[in-house]
Amino acid sequence: MRILASELTLDGAGRPELGRNLTYGLLDNLGRAIVTGRFETEPFPTEAELAKQHNVSRSVTREAVKMLTAKGLLSARPRQGTVVQPTTSWNLFDTDVLRWLLERQFSVDLLKQFNQLRIAIEPEAAALAARFGDEAELRRITDGLERMEAAEKGLDDTLDADIAFHVAILRASSNPFYFQFRDVVTTALRTSIRFTNRIKGRTASVADHAAVRDAILARNPDAARTAMRDLIGDVLELIDEAEGAKA
């Protein structure tokens, strides 16, 4: 019996598979399985076994494995087979890896690590934005802030506006490496909100964000850096408190 791709857009349980085609579907399944640690106890299957288990051809299998290799999760060699790499070689700034990492479970520890990273990146990004951001880039920052104000009146989504603001600053840093963090920051914010809102009824304060914007528009790097640092520092404190309360 020949299995057609169109018949596989739904998996056994009837849920839609992630990805536009078989390769991306397998990529997603394997990625999640690896990150979840399924292959810490059992060995990673050989190419032939994988193909049989997922009812796809070897081509699809090999291409999915190659993509996971490119993201640092796997390594394949003849005779040795395909093996999961240590987490230190995973590309944590890859969108897919990041998503799999969060889907497996909500971890306060991971959220903390996100924000420890943000407190390094974003204050410096704000400083760079103040120094080098051009007209259009600064405009985006203001737009983001205005969306936050509108959200307070229920005219926009709070979280989306918050994300737009922070990403605008990364972009305005005019350094492509900083802009790479847009996924991490987006993910961190989406995750944070689920968490911090549960702890306190506290929304990201528009006033604090406005302070960052003002410093950047005033072309004052030091003030921008400090203002952003305070902003994220608050989040980090909140997480620490919550963690301490549990321990």
Binding site for DNA (CB under 7 A): 2-6, 20-23, 46-48, 55-60, 62-63, 65, 76-82
How do the residues of the chain divide into helix, strand and coil, expressed in percent and rounded to 5?
A: 70, 5, 25
Q: How far is CA 135 from CA 168, 169, 229, in A?
A: 12, 12, 24
In angstroms, what is the minimal distance from the CB of 100 to a copy of itself? 13
Site for a copy of itself in 83-122 (CB under 8 A): 87-88, 91-94, 113-114, 116-117, 119-121
Contact status: 23 vs a copy of itself (CB under 8 A): yes
Contact status: 180 vs a copy of itself (CB under 8 A): yes
Alpha-helix runs per DSSP H in 133-246? 135-152, 158-172, 176-179, 182-199, 206-217, 221-246
Q: Among DNA, a copy of itself, none, what binds residue 121 when CB lies within 5 to 8 Å by partner kind?
A: a copy of itself
In angstroms, what is the minimal distance from the CB of 88 to DNA? 21
Please pick, from the candidates 17, 36, 66, 157, the single residue that binds a copy of itself as defined by CB under 8 A: 66
Residue 60 and residue 32 in contact, taking contact as beta carbons nearer than 8 Å: no
CA separation for the pair 135, 172 (Å, rounded): 9
Contact status: 137 vs a copy of itself (CB under 8 A): no
Contact status: 28 vs a copy of itself (CB under 8 A): no
Q: Among DNA, a copy of itself, none, what binds residue 180 when CB lies within 5 to 8 Å by partner kind?
A: a copy of itself
Contact status: 80 vs a copy of itself (CB under 8 A): no
CA separation for the pair 184, 172 (Å, rounded): 17
Residue 87 and residue 39 in contact, taking contact as beta carbons nearer than 8 Å: no
